[in-house]
Amino acid sequence: MSIIKNLTKAEEQIMQVLWKLEKAFLRELVDAMPHPKPHQNTVATILKILAEKEFVGIELFGRMHRYYPLISKEAYSKATMKSMVKSYFEGSFSNVVSFMVKENNLSVEDLERLLKELKKQGK
């Protein structure tokens, strides 16, 4: 697969619901959206854009469309994280961790626990 495109906030919100449902018709997607729910026409327009961006596939059932993700949540998360690290942290994940510690989003204890887990997985 080529480079994963960035999603707008509205597109990402719909993808989050679709990833959770795995496959859904328009009405099911709208029903699963958080309040305030967007209008069905708005969701349909965004789904069309997501299909053009190759994030969503469409199965036809007569005149009904059932949507499903073409890109996994994991693949999108990985690409988004790499892009953010490249754009804001000179491509260094060490800079991300350092920033998180400085901003008190990650305690030294949490960091030590994370390192222990990573060392276990590496063995």
User: Which residues does 57 contact at the CB level (< 8 Å), separation at least 6?
Assistant: 51, 67, 68, 69, 70
To which residue do tokens 């790499």 refer? 82
Domains (range + CATH), the chain: 9-69 (1.10.10.10), 89-122 (no CATH)
**Predicted local confidence at residue 1, as pLDDT:** 42
CB atoms within 10 A of CB 58: 13
Predicted model pTM? 0.73
Would residue 54 be called left, alpha or beta, if left means φ above 0 and alpha means ψ between -120 and 50 degrees? Answer: left
The C-alpha atoms of residue 18 and residue 5 are separated, in whole angstroms, by: 17
Q: What is the pLDDT of residues 58-100, one digit of tens each?
A: 999 999 999 999 999 998 888 888 877 777 787 777 777 777 7
